[in-house]
Amino acid sequence: MAANSGVFEPRNILVTGGCGFIGANFVRYVARNHPDVHVTVLDKLTYAGNPENIAGLPESRVELVVGDICDAALLERVVPGHDAIVHFAAESHNDNSIADPEPFIRTNVEGTMRLLEAARKYDVRFHHISTDEVYGDLALDDPARFSECSPYRPSSPYSASKAASDHLVRAWVRTYGLRATISNCSNNYGPYQHVEKFIPRQITSILEGIRPKLYGTGENVRDWIHTEDHSSAVWEILTRGRIGETYLIGANGEMSNIAVLRMILRLMGQPEDAFDWTRDRPGHDRRYAIDASKLHAELGWKPMHTNFESGLRATIDWYTNHREWWVASKAATEARYRAQGM
Ligand code: NAD
Ligand code: TDX
């Protein structure tokens, strides 16, 4: 660790959830762009974690510890010696949280508390990865976007658990002086995303000859950002963000679900109406939209992937070329959805 004109220069980072979608992309980003940094990944390898996601990275720079962030004794062994924790580990899927909220409270709330306690004890800089869903939703016809001042109004057990974890981080900053920052990002897309999520589900369904499934009216809007842009924003906040601050991350990628699905179908050479409607998600958030002005103004961050269609085309290519990565979890995921009528 070094302090250089206000820039924090971590040397030894603990990345929780680094075998999941966004965590693994962040580990790859750090390995590619910051070869002087060692990364320890701490991951429980739930159904959503896959060591293949970080395969091929130099063993001298990326190490995997398999374990649970709720395990205080394990954290006592793993945390000391790191100068930063970047906390991605979570139960992350809204539909799962509606079917069974309990693991969400355990990992997202209790697990975050355990990590905060370890960070406090060993005086480790902490960056907490969160979601725009903590702010609830916006009306479809409302020009407003979420900002760092938006009130917390989570809708699902998942987003409520993430909201709780954000509040814990702020309490540890204020009460114990923990050196922490928080980022709340919009919907990510890109390689290594689990096939339960919207974009990979639809792409892999088409590849398998299954008709894509659209919930409710399909008018719901999500604000898409490429996961590599999320990684670069997190790196800027970790190294140059102000302690105690929250930064929203987004890339002006608002699009309705039906428009995204039609784009996927077109790019994959299918008729644009070749999908099925399903029942709606209970409590389905209508629209998310991020105002990332603070991140732009304070840290000068800009997204690289500004053309959603070309990012989506690359993502389709990735799933097309990595069938062995997703085929087993596809069958299990679709069986789970079928049982729920989705
Ligand atoms: P993911 O489900 O793909 O990965 C989660 C990872 O955490 C997995 O590797 C899993 O094994 C691990 N994990 C789960 N419980 C654990 C535990 N108790 N101990 C240790 N490891 C555990 O999730 P993701 O989509 O990559 O999301 C990562 C983070 O980003 C989450 O905190 C999520 O809330 C946040 N986020 C996600 C999005 C999105 O679009 N996916 C957007 C904004 C924020
Ligand atoms: O088959 C589907 N059909 C469908 O219409 C699926 C899986 C989803 N949907 C809809 C529901 C949502 O409106 O697509 C939208 C996106 O769904 P998800 O991929 O489940 O994402 P979402 O619920 O928006 O949450 C995501 O973004 C915020 C991540 O999963 C969260 O971890 C993150 O915090």
Dump pLDDT digits (tens) for 70-88.
999 999 999 999 999 999 9
The 8 Å CB, 24+ separation contacts for 235-238 are 235/26, 235/29, 235/30, 235/33, 235/34, 236/295, 236/299, 236/300, 236/301, 237/127, 237/181, 237/183, 237/295, 237/299, 238/8, 238/10, 238/84, 238/86, 238/125, 238/127, 238/181
pLDDT band at 2 (very low <50, low <70, confident <90, very high): very low
Nearest one of 185, 294, 172 to 242, comparing CA atoms: 294
pLDDT in tens, 46-71: 999 999 999 999 999 999 999 999 99
| Residue 100 falls in the annotated catalytic set | no
Give which of 1, 33, 247 is closest to 127, Cα–Cα.
247
Cα of 141 from ligand 1 centre, angstroms = 31
20 CB within 6 A, ligand 1: yes
Mutate to test the pocket of ligand 2, among 96, 189, 198, 279 (most ligand atoms within 8 A of CB): 198
Quick check: is 254 catalytic? no
Instruction: State whether the beta carbon of 222 lies less than 6 angstroms from ligand 2.
Output: yes
Per residue in 273-289, pLDDT tens?
999 999 999 999 999 99
How far apart CA 231 and CA 123 sit, in angstroms, is 24
CB 45 within 8 A of CB 17: no
Whole-number Å distance, alpha carbon 198 to ligand 2 midpoint, is 5
**Which tens digits make up the pLDDT trace of 147-171?**
999 999 999 999 999 999 999 999 9
Positive/negative CA dihedral, 318, 215, 93, 174:
positive
Of the candidates 133, 137, 236, 254, the residue annotated as catalytic is 133
Q: What is the pLDDT of residue 5?
A: 63
Query: Residue 132 pLDDT > 70, yes or no?
Result: yes
Pairing mode of beta strands 221-223, 254-256: antiparallel
**For the segment 215-264, what is each residue's pLDDT rounded down to a tens digit?**
999 999 999 999 999 999 999 999 999 999 999 999 999 999 999 999 99
pLDDT at 115 > cutoff 50? yes
What confidence tier does 6 reach under pLDDT thresholds 50, 70, 90?
confident
Tokens of 341: 């009528």
Q: What six digits make up the tokens of 301?
A: 């961050």
Q: How confident is the model at residue 265, as a pLDDT?
A: 98
Ligand 1 near 113 CB (within 6 A)? no
The mean per-residue pLDDT over the stretch 319-340 comes to: 96
Alpha carbon 270 to chain centroid, angstroms: 29
Residue 4 CA to ligand 1 centre (angstroms): 32
The pLDDT assigned to 7 comes to: 96
Cβ within 8 Å of residue 57, ≥6 positions away: 27, 28, 31
Report the SS3 class of residue 332.
helix
| Domains observed in the chain | 12-194+225-252+289-304 (3.40.50.720)
Predicted local confidence at residue 96, as pLDDT:
97
**Contact criterion met (CB below 8 Å) for 231 and 196:** no
Known active-site residue 334: no
- Taking the centre of ligand 1 as the mean of its atom positions, its distance from the CA of residue 89, in whole angstroms, is 4
pLDDT of residue 20: 99
Q: Is the Cβ atom of 198 under 6 angstroms away from ligand 2?
A: yes
pLDDT of residue 3: 42
For the chain, give the mean pLDDT.
Answer: 97
**Mean pLDDT across the stretch 28-34?**
98
In percent, the amount of the chain with pLDDT more than 70 equals 99
